[in-house]
Each structure stands twice: as structure tokens, then as C-alpha cells.
């Protein structure tokens, strides 16, 4: 099976794991519900006052004749809302993981113990406040990277044909990469894997990452779906993190999902759309 299929299979396996562990799934829903309420309020506000914001930002167009003024500002309003949706997909995961750090740490540890041959789950040994600080710091760095890509894709959206076809597809792959980084960080931070090393691991298995993160990015466009998939996404990302680090899973031999048994090394000079 290709890495693309293996990545998607990890996403499904994570959902199956939480389906078998109802209590962990129930607790894992709480952070997503809180974040959903906050984001829904922000997007509603943007929908109500986004046109006024665009008008304020484009005073040079006040004297334009109809219909050009309406078309221009209507287009910018639609693009602004689309960009906000793209960023909300990426930052939704970061904010939810930050709010639900204790919940998802506990869930990820349970997955590790469940699939590890010796029933062991790695622990960071750091106090909660330190884990929260590292998570917030790294999430901010990822959000900045995602925002830069969002601006680039926004600019490319003005290119005729390409902007309406290729750019949205690239956007889903980029979003999928950053979503996967945020989700695998729960398990990798417990193993003291720094952000730079995490990005190197993900870039070395880009098709695996896209197979996991891109379908999730598409699903996360529906807010309620994002809430219900988050616990399973964390579980699946923990399984994939074990693959990336070459850790043996109790179920690898039975399911044959293509997990590696030795840690992959990022190739020198590797590049990725998520750099």
C-alpha cells in the first residue's frame, strides 16, 4: 500500500479506536465544542460586518460607478471570508489542542499503551504549565507559517483559471500538512521531539502526511464534523507518529499497514509546500 493510502488508513484507525473507547471519546469532544462556539461567533461577525470592513479598507473605490464598485467589493468580501475559513481550519486544531491539552495528552497516552508491545507510553516528565507553553509557542510558529501560505495562495487566486482550479487543491494539501503537524505534535512532544525535527519527519513522508491530513482538512470545513472527528484524529495521529519514529505497534503484524520498523531520516535538501 502506498504512503497515501497508509496515511488515510491511520485516520480511519484513529476513528475506530475512539469508537471502541467511548469514555475517552466523550471527554475528547469537550475542547472541540468550546472552540466551535468561539469560531462560530467570529465567523458570524465576519459575515455580518465583513463588507463594511472591505469598504473601509478600499476608500479609493468610493467613486467607482456601478456595477464595478459592487463587483469589486463583493469579490474582496468573498475572498476575505474564504481566507478566514482556510485559517480557521488550521487554527481550529491548534486552539482546540491548546484548550484540550490535558484531554488529548491523556487520550494519546492511552493509544500508546494500547498498541505498544510492552504497554508503555512515553512521558515528557514536564509540568503541565511547561507543556502548555511549548504547545502554544509551537502552535504560534505553525500558524504563522500557515498564514504566510494563506497570503500566497490568496494572491495566486487572482491568476485566471489557475486561481480557480489548482490553487484550491494546493490549499487543501498545505492545510492537511499543517493539520497533521499539529495533531502529531501531541504524541511527539511527549517524546521531546522539537518542532524543527517534527517538520523534518513530516517532510520526509509527505505522501503519508497528505493521505492523513488532506481528507481531514476537507472534512474540517464542516465545523460540526471537525468537533466529532478531533478525538479520532488525535488517536490516528498518535499511531502515525509511532510510524514516523519507527516504533513497533502490537497490531502491525496483524494488519500489515506498512508501518516502518526503523526511523526514517529526512533527506538532505528536502523541500515541501509546508516549508
pLDDT band at 16 (very low <50, low <70, confident <90, very high): very high
**Residue 268: per-residue pLDDT:** 41
**Residue 78: per-residue pLDDT:** 81
- Mean pLDDT value across residues 122-145: 79
Helices (H), the chain: 3-20, 22-57, 68-99, 101-115, 128-156, 162-190, 195-204, 206-219, 223-244, 252-255
With a cut of 70, say whether residue 254 has pLDDT above it.
no
DSSP 16-80: HHHHH-HHHHHHHHHHHHHHHHHHHHHHHHHHHHHHHHHHHH-GGGTTPPTTHHHHHHHHHHHHH
- The phi and psi torsions of 245 (rounded to 5 degrees) equal -95, 0
Q: Which of 27-31, 48-52, 233-237, 257-261 has the highest mean pLDDT?
A: 233-237
**Residue 137: per-residue pLDDT:** 85
Cα-only R_g, the chain: 20
Q: Name the helix (H) or strand (E) containing 262.
A: none
Q: Which of 90, 92, 178, 101 has its CA nearest to residue 134?
A: 101
Better-predicted residue by pLDDT, 254 or 200: 200
pLDDT band at 205 (very low <50, low <70, confident <90, very high): very high
With a cut of 50, say whether residue 255 has pLDDT above it.
no
Mean pLDDT across the chain = 81
**Residue 211: per-residue pLDDT:** 94
CA-to-CA dists, residue 272 to 24, 58, 129, 151, angstroms: 34, 35, 32, 17
With a cut of 70, say whether residue 19 has pLDDT above it.
yes
Least reliable range by pLDDT among 12-21, 36-45, 193-202: 36-45
**Residue 13: per-residue pLDDT:** 94
CB 6 within 8 A of CB 211: yes
Better-predicted residue by pLDDT, 52 or 209: 209
pLDDT band at 111 (very low <50, low <70, confident <90, very high): very high
- Mean pLDDT value across residues 37-52: 84
Assigned C-alpha cell, 73: 467589493
Residue with cell 490516528: 236
Give the rounded distance of the alpha carbon of 21 from its chain centre: 23
Better-predicted residue by pLDDT, 46 or 240: 240
Q: What is the pTM of this model?
A: 0.72
Who's near 30: CB < 8 A, 6+ residues apart? 100, 103
Cβ-in-10-Å burial (0-12, 13-18, 19+) of 260 comes to: middle
CB 106 within 8 A of CB 187: no
**Residue 274: per-residue pLDDT:** 46
- Mean pLDDT value across residues 195-201: 91
End-to-end CA distance of the chain: 27
Q: Which of 150, 116, 72, 148 has its CA nearest to residue 248?
A: 116
With a cut of 60, say whether residue 251 has pLDDT above it.
no
Question: What's the rounded Cα separation, in Å, for the pair 103 and 101?
Answer: 6
Percent of the chain with pLDDT over 70: 90
Amino acid at each position: 500500500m502506498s504512503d497515501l493510502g497508509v496515511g488515510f488508513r491511520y485516520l480511519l484507525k484513529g476513528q475506530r479506536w475512539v469508537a471502541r473507547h467511548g469514555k475517552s471519546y466523550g471527554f475528547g469532544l469537550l475542547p472541540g465544542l468550546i472552540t466551535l462556539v468561539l469560531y462560530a461567533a467570529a465567523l458570524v461577525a465576519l459575515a455580518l460586518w465583513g463588507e463594511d470592513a472591505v469598504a473601509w479598507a478600499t476608500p479609493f473605490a468610493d467613486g467607482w460607478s456601478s456595477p464595478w464598485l459592487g463587483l469589486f467589493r463583493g469579490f474582496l468580501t468573498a475572498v476575505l471570508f474564504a481566507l478566514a475559513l482556510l485559517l480557521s481550519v488550521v487554527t481550529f486544531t491548534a486552539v482546540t489542542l491548546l484548550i484540550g491539552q490535558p484531554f488529548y495528552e491523556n487520550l494519546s497516552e492511552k493509544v500508546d499503551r494500547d498498541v505498544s508491545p510492552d504497554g508503555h507510553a512515553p512521558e515528557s516528565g514536564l509540568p503541565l504549565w511547561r507543556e502548555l507553553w511549548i504547545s502554544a509557542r509551537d502552535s504560534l510558529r505553525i500558524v504563522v507559517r500557515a498564514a504566510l501560505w494563506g497570503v500566497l495562495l490568496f494572491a495566486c487566486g487572482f491568476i485566471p483559471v489557475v486561481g480557480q482550479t489548482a490553487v484550491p487543491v494546493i490549499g487543501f494539501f498545505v492545510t492537511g500538512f499543517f493539520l497533521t503537524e499539529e495533531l502529531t505534535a501531541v504524541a511527539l512532544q511527549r517524546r521531546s521531539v522539537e518542532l524543527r525535527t517534527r517538520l523534518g519527519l513530516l517532510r520526509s513522508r509527505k505522501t503519508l502526511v497528505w493521505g492523513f491530513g488532506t481528507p481531514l482538512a476537507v472534512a474540517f470545513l464542516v465545523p460540526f464534523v471537525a468537533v466529532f472527528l478531533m478525538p479520532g484524529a488525535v488517536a490516528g495521529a498518535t499511531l502515525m507518529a509511532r510510524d514516523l519514529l519507527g516504533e513497533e505497534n502490537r497490531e502491525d503484524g496483524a494488519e500489515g499497514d506498512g508501518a516502518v520498523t526503523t526511523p526514517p531520516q529526512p533527506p538532505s535538501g528536502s523541500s515541501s509546500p509546508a516549508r
